[in-house]
Amino acid sequence: EVLLRMHSVGICGSDVHYWQHGRIGDFVVNGPMVLGHEASGTVVKVGSGVTHLKPGDRVAIEPGVPREMDEFCKTGRYNLSPTIFFCATPPDDGNLCRYYKHSASYCYKLPDNVTFEEGALIEPLSVGIHACKRAGVTLGSKVFVSGSGPIGLVNVLVAKMMGASAVVITDLSASRLQKAKEVGADFTIHVKNETPQEVASKVESLLGCMPEITVECTGVQACIQAGIYATRSGGTLVLVGLGPEMVTVPIVNAAVREVDIRGIFRYCNTWPVAIALLASKRINVKPLVTHRFPLEKALEAFETTRRGEGVKVMLKCDPADHSP
């Protein structure tokens, strides 16, 4: 294990949801819980067996640590391990604090040209990497991203990086769609009160064809429906956003057109990839951060996120250090 002095911690929708509702699905908050799982910091102390890190190293933290070497770990899909530790998922504490202890294998050294803030953004970026890999985005792919929150935006970034020739994105918010344009979306659709079929036909007319791949990042029933209608026959719909447990969808439409529906659960094996992309400047996550607060103003930061202002709100845990 290593002891870290925390630096930057991003606020995620799930953090806000636990704070407001006390549960997400089967994960119920039964006692006090520290929030935060998008984080970076500096190594202060290392355990006796740790060789790849030393005090002073700047690291990004992968929040999910398997507790046992089960079948999922053996096949490289450790995110699916039922006993995994995960920051800020009850009953496991997160890392929104001054000092934090974590498994050394899940702390990744940041190169000098990657900032603490970028290090903290690797967590949301990882969701995009994992989703686009599961979707099979490749050279020339036409992609429809549904929802322009932080996760929709990282999917735009990653899809373009992986060779998508055109990406169209939808949202209810015009300002969020503007941000999507900034990070590389080719087309935006400002949804007002269209039916799912109408949204799907707008996607098709903007792309000039139906997309092979849809990445659904809202979890809203109507958006999942639009995702099925929009995806080309033989294509893939990846469900990233989580909404109600039961959802009514045109499953027969998907079935007879051989549209593959895939889920994702967080990510695995993404930190080294993300660090390589950030260090080589192949991907720019900096535009995602719109607000910064010191740890003392955490409540204000959470309120800002809850109101849906900006994109990514970042907390600064180290009062002495003002670097990004």
Q: Would the pLDDT of 173 be above 70?
A: yes
Average pLDDT over the chain, rounded to whole?
97
Q: Are both 55 and 173 inside the same structural domain?
A: no
24: in domain? yes
Is 280 contained in some domain? no
Structural domain boundaries enclosing 229: 128-263
Claim to verify: residue 52 and residue 88 sit in the same structural domain: yes
Same-domain status, 141 and 227: yes
> Domain for residue 269, yes or no?
no
* pLDDT band with cut points at 50, 70 and 90 for residue 65: very high
Range 25-47 average pLDDT: 96
**271 within some domain:** no
pLDDT band at 60, cuts 50/70/90? very high
Confidence band for 318, pLDDT divided at 50, 70 and 90 = confident
Count of structural domains, the chain: 2
**38 and 164 share one domain:** no
Q: Which SS3 state, helix, strand or coil, does residue 275 take?
A: helix
Contact in structure between 295 and 320 (CB atoms under 8 Å): no
Residue 322 has pLDDT above 90, yes or no: no
Map residue 222 onto helix, strand or coil.
helix
58 lies in the same domain as 23: yes
pLDDT value of residue 319 = 75
The DSSP secondary-structure symbol of 78 reads G
Helix ranges, the chain (H): 13-21, 71-74, 116-135, 150-161, 174-182, 196-207, 221-230, 251-256, 271-279, 298-306
| Position 87 in a domain | yes
CATH of residue 197's domain is 3.40.50.720
Q: What is the mean pLDDT of residues 253-281?
A: 98
- Residue 319, burial from CB neighbour count under 10 angstroms (0-12, 13-18, 19+): exposed
Question: Which residue has better confidence, 319 or 1?
Answer: 1
Whether 122 is in a domain gets the answer: no
Confidence band (pLDDT; 50, 70, 90) for 84? very high
In terms of domains, do 104 and 177 share one? no
CA distance 298 to 306: 12
Q: What angle do CA 121, 177, 39 make, to 5 degrees?
A: 10
pTM here is 0.96
216, two tokens: 């659904």
- As a residue count, the chain comes to 324
Cβ-proximal residues to 184 (8 Å cutoff; 6+ apart), any chain: 156, 157, 160, 167
Check whether 260 has a pLDDT greater than 70.
yes
Cα separations in angstroms, 226 against 132, 152, 237, 238, 292: 19, 15, 11, 13, 35
Rounded distance, CA 152 to CA 32, Å?
A: 31
Q: What is the mean pLDDT of residues 218-239?
A: 98
Same structural domain for residues 133 and 232? yes
**Together in a domain, 312 and 241:** no
CATH of the domain at 12: 3.90.180.10
Region 183-210 average pLDDT: 98
Residues 74 and 36 placed together within one structural domain of the fold:
yes
C-beta separation of 41 from 116 below 8 A? yes
103 and 143 in a single domain? The answer is no
What is the pLDDT, as a whole number, of residue 191? 98
- Residue bearing the bigger pLDDT, 200 or 320: 200
Is residue 114 situated within a structural domain? Answer: no
Q: Are residues 66 and 134 located together in one domain of the fold?
A: no
Same-domain check for residues 20 and 66: yes
Give percent helix, percent strand, percent coil of the chain, each to the nearest 5: 35, 25, 40
Residue 209 in domain = yes
Confidence tier at 320 by pLDDT (50, 70, 90): confident
pLDDT exceeds cutoff 60 at 62? yes
